[in-house]
Structure 1
Amino acid sequence: MAVTTEVRAPHAPTELPRVTDPSKVPPNDARGLSKLFFDRLATLEEGTPEYQYARNTLIEMNMTLVRYAAGRFRSRGPQELEDIVQVGMIGLIKAIDRFDISREVEFTSFAVPYIVGEIKRFFRDTSWAVHVPRRLQEARVELAKATEELSSRLGRTPTTRELSELMNLPEQEVRDAKVASNGYRSASLDAAVSSSEDGESVLADFIGAEDAGLELVEDLHCLAPLLAELDPRDREIIHLRFVEELTQAQIGERLGISQMHVSRLLNRVLTRLRQGLQTTR
């Protein structure tokens, strides 16, 4: 174990041993050292250099816990092991920050559930391209197993009724599980689907076009609260100009003010609305 201890003055506060490479400390040694570091960490003020040293050393010394937990998930998905380790490190850091040594619990027993929980949350949040209810996620796994078993036994694709009987689920549940399976993987809109003399077609070509009216809907949605903040006369001017489509002269006659005054009021209100829209977008 690579540990060096600095010499200190007789009356200096107890210092932690300086570990030159915490990531290479053997697990058995790390267990004892971790207890020492946790004891000292509890007495240090957060944010001080010594606190950061103790916390960072604990993280590096216990990385073997993360790699051990991550190894259990090698076959769970296409994610590289290193990505899973990075996620598990978040769980390790949470465990270190929340560990209370006064409870007399082994840190390894406390940390592993945090690490595994963080990794499982990662798979839950990233494995499905769209949100699917948990019961259908679980049914998809059973559906895959049942389909493989029946296909092998029958020599053909099983029917929904046959799957329903084997899975002991209503036929509608089986249908829902089939639909849910489509949400497990997504395809890029730029994915090529066919080629011709005119060039290559992509999936987006067959889905539809952008609706120009959507931007107008968004603008109107943002504009509504801004209009509500106007005083009654300003709202009336906007209504007369853009709903009843009156000219400025006609608005002046309706309100008993000059066309010039209407123009100034209209410009002031429109400037205010434009600025409000730019802020909310």
Structure 2
Amino acid sequence: MAANQYYMQSDGIELLRAYYQNPSVKLRNELVQMHTGLVRKMAHKFSYQCNEPYEDLEQVGYLGLIRAIERFDPSQGYAFSSFAVPYIRGEMLHFLRDRCTLLKIPRRWQELYNEGQKVRKELALTLGRPPKDLEIASKLKVSPQEWQQTKLAAQNRMPLSLDATVIQSIDCQITLGEALPCHRSASLQQQHEERQQLQGAISMLEEKPRMVVEMVYLNEFSRKDAANKIGTSPMTVTRYLQKGVQDLVSMLKTQAVPAG
């Protein structure tokens, strides 16, 4: 019981380290159980914003959680929860996108609508005015009701604005543009991971090189200002920068080597 409490308090970091060093289904399942709250919270949030069952969203969310567990590197120094949430949310959005397929109308209605547009133009020329729906239906030899249904179905297939809200709640909304597949999503996820990886590597530098790297590259200090801040010379700042960059390159290269 004490061990479980320790894992929960530390975001399960020891268990995550154990899985990273020696992956197994048993450890992965323990980690999934430990972090079910992340999935359930996100599933509840989405279930209030759409018509999909909570249970379906929860199951999809676990796929994202498993992906996060398999890709998390505990040596980077950031919380697992902040790493996992984008994966869980991403899987749920993929699920919702797949459920929102384009509306398809019967082939007969498609053909009837196209024919109706031709008839509309012909009648407009003949009558010298826009034809009425009753006249178009008569020319097509269909009932006015069928022509109205055909027109309505065709209108419902028209493109919507990407800013149109498809999921909305008091504190959150998802637009059509966000719900559509995005070719950049994988790239953005990779950038997010690389940024976290870099931040973790910077935190592992020796104190002075770390301070100088953060001041010059992250906070855009000049080397002179950085030197004044830590009480040294600009030349020493340059040496710290060189060492910090070399150590970062070395650490990131090591992390990029595939395990096994």
TM-score (norm 2): 0.38
Decide which structure has greater helix share: 2
Q: Which has the larger radius of gyration?
A: 1
TM-score (norm 1): 0.35
